[in-house]
Every structure is written in structure tokens, then in C-alpha cells.
Amino acid sequence: MIPFVDLARQHAALKPALMQSLERVLDSSRFILGEQGAALERELAAVMGVRHGIGVASGTDALRLALAALRVGPGDEVITPAFSFVASTTTIVMTGATPVFVDVDPATYALDPAAVERAITPRTRAVVPVHLYGHPAPMDAIVDLARARGIAVVEDAAQAIGASYAGRPVGSWGDVACLSFYPTKNLGACGDGGMVVTDRDDLAERVRRLRHHGDAGRYRHAELGWCSRLDEMQAALLHVKLAHLGAWTDRRRAIAGVYAARLGGLPLGLAVERAPARHVYHLYTVRHPQRDALQTMLADLGIGTAVHYPIPVPAQPLFGIDGERRWPEAWRAAREVLSLPCFAELTDGEVERVAAAVREACARLR
């Protein structure tokens, strides 16, 4: 059996260094808002090409805090893709603002800038481009549109750490960007974690305050905040892993290259990398009109796969919007997408076996 993802392989390889980093935190016994977190914030801000990083409790909180720092709230509209992980939208709802769904590009699954432009109203306060699967959204067009109208850009880079667009890192295009360290993400903690990154001093300061009870220093609480910090244990573990992120990304890209070479010519939509984007393949996602049958056959052939995501965001029971006519690509993607194993520790032999199994399953489905 080839698993869809296997974090134990990564942790076995790094175990001595990870244990050492935990021991250092335990010895210091400083667990919240200490040197580990501050160091990671500096390191990741540099990776993302901005000046500030603010560690928070999750990617979801990073989005919520970024929107709150922008003072998005009731009466505002925020543009978000109809096809993404649900947190790209629920965090907008949490602020009291109204999410405005926009359809995605069928090849990259990114926000379609023309559709974004059509969705803008006088109440639009922000747009949330998601770099889904690790493929950057077309940031030049989205930022141009937004800047011209005074609309904020909040990048959901939860799946795309290390990706870039036109040579510039994702996370440095918008006003603010959000990272997730959910364990299976490209840079995953051993628990929950996230970070807000930004070049704007005002937003950085506000997120710092909001993540820590609205604290303006010395137990003076200037405004209503939350309790959402990245703890020192997670920061220390992430520091160890960050040193490997470049090599892991190269390996994911090499695996994607093998899939592209072996799976051409099948009735299968492959993952694309559309210039000038640099994809980090958090997920290698294909599409097939008989997705469920393909997934079952691959399971029978010993290949683990996953569906990201089976339900378009507006159709989630929590929203309950029947929007297939308005956002047809989101609905079609939810029916057709299938993610293949694509993690750095896969062996060359395993990658070849996945590709052979996909070829065999597609032949049987013809």
C-alpha cells in the first residue's frame, strides 16, 4: 500500500533534531511568546519576502486576525473563491462581513480575475485569493484590480509556502498573507499553528495585539482581542523543519514532473503550472469525469488518494447555497478532482507505481 501521505517518515528522519529542539524549550520553560517564536517569525518573514511575521494558533486564526486587523466587519463584502478549503470563507463570516463567491479557473483552481472584477461592488472591502494546492493565484491582475479601487488583498497562502509568482514570493503581493502549519501542510507543525505575514507596520502591530488579548503592553488592554499564539514547542519544531523546506519542495516538484511525464495522453486533467507561477505542489491534483470510480480502483491497486474538496464552499451545509449555475467550475471541480500521493519522502519506485496504477485504472475506465 502506498499511503496518500505519511508524516511518520518525515519525523523518523528528523527525530534527533526535533527531540533536541523540544528539550531546549523544556529546559528554558518559556512556552508562550518567547525567543523560538520570535526567531521563526523573522525567518518566515524573510522566506515570504516581507518584514513582519506574527505567529498565531492556526491558519484559520491567521485569516480571521488579518481580516480583523483590516477592520473588515458587518456591512462589508469580501470576495472569496467558491472552491477552496472552507476556512477561506468561514473566517470572513466570523468578522460579520458577507462573503461574495467567485468561480475559479478550471486549470489552476485560482480566482479568475475577470470574475473578481464583475463581483466588485461599492461595499467590497477585501479579496482573498487562495493559492490552492500550492499554485499561486494570478497576483499581478488581482493586485492591480484591488489597488485601483482601494480594496485590500488577503492572500490565503496556507497551501503555498515557498511558491512564487513572477519570481516574487506569494505572501508579498497582497496587504497581508496567512500561513498554516497544520501537520500535513508543506511546513507542518506537530499540532496546530499559523502565521500572519505582512509588510505593513500598522497591520503587524494590530495582529500582534489582537492575538494576545488586545494587550497594548503591561496588562493594558486597548481593544477586544483573542488568545491565539503559536507556542514555543511548535515554533522550535518548525525551525528544524524549515531548514528542509527547500529540498522538500524540490522533491515535490520532481514528483510532479514524473507524474506529468507518465500520465500524459490519458483522459485525465493533470496538475498544471501556468507561467509565471512557481507551484509547490502541496497537492498533486488530477481530474477525471469518473473520479469516484478512479479513486476506488486506485484503492484496490494499493494507492491512497484524497479528494480536496468534495463539496464547493457555497454548497457546504453551513451555507446551503445551490449555486451550480453561478459557479459551474467550482461544482465541476468538486465532482472531478482527485489528489495523488505527493510528499517528499516517497521513493522513486513508489512514484512509478502510482503512475502505473493511474494508467491502468484509466485504461479500465475507458
Residues that bind ligand PLP (CB under 6 A): 58-60, 84-85, 87-88, 130, 156, 158-159, 180, 182, 192, 194
137 versus 297: smaller Cβ distance to ligand PLP: 137
Closer residue to ligand PLP, CB minimum distance, 234 or 305 = 234
- In angstroms, the Cα distances linking 186 to 55, 64, 161 are 17, 21, 7
Q: Would you state the cell numbers that stand for residue 299, as one nine-digit string?
A: 484503492
DSSP per-residue string spanning 97-154: PEEEEE-B-TTT--B-HHHHHHH--TTEEEE--B-GGGPPP-HHHHHHHHHHHT-EEE
Nearer to ligand PLP, 173 or 351 (CB): 173
Residue 112 is which amino acid? D
- Which among 209, 177, 174, 220 is positioned nearest to 63, based on CA atoms? 177
**Residue number with CB closer to ligand PLP (169 or 361):** 169
**What span, in angstroms and rounded, lies between the C-alpha atoms of 280 and 249?**
6
CA distances from 28 to 38, 193, 327 (A): 15, 21, 52
Residue nearest to ligand PLP (CB): 59
Q: Which three cell numbers stand for residue 50?
A: 516581507
Cβ atoms of residues 301 and 361 within 8 Å: yes
Cα separation, 14 vs 361, in Å, equals 35
Residue 226 or 258: the one with the smaller Cβ distance to ligand PLP is: 226
Length of the chain: 366
Nearest to ligand PLP of 66, 120 (CB atom): 66
Q: Kindly state the smallest distance separating residue 242's Cβ from ligand PLP, in Å.
A: 16
Count of CB atoms within 10 A of residue 325's CB?
7
Q: H or E stretch including 56?
A: strand 52-56
Cα–Cα distance for residue pair 161/138, rounded to 1 Å: 16
Nearer to ligand PLP, 129 or 357 (CB): 129
Minimum CB distance to ligand PLP smaller for 156 or for 232: 156
Give min distance, CB of 269 to ligand PLP, in A: 20
Q: Which amino acid is at 289?
A: P
Nearer CB in complex with ligand PLP: 185/206: 185
Least Å distance, CB 223 to ligand PLP, is: 23
Helix axes 348-365, 245-262, angle to 10 degrees: 40
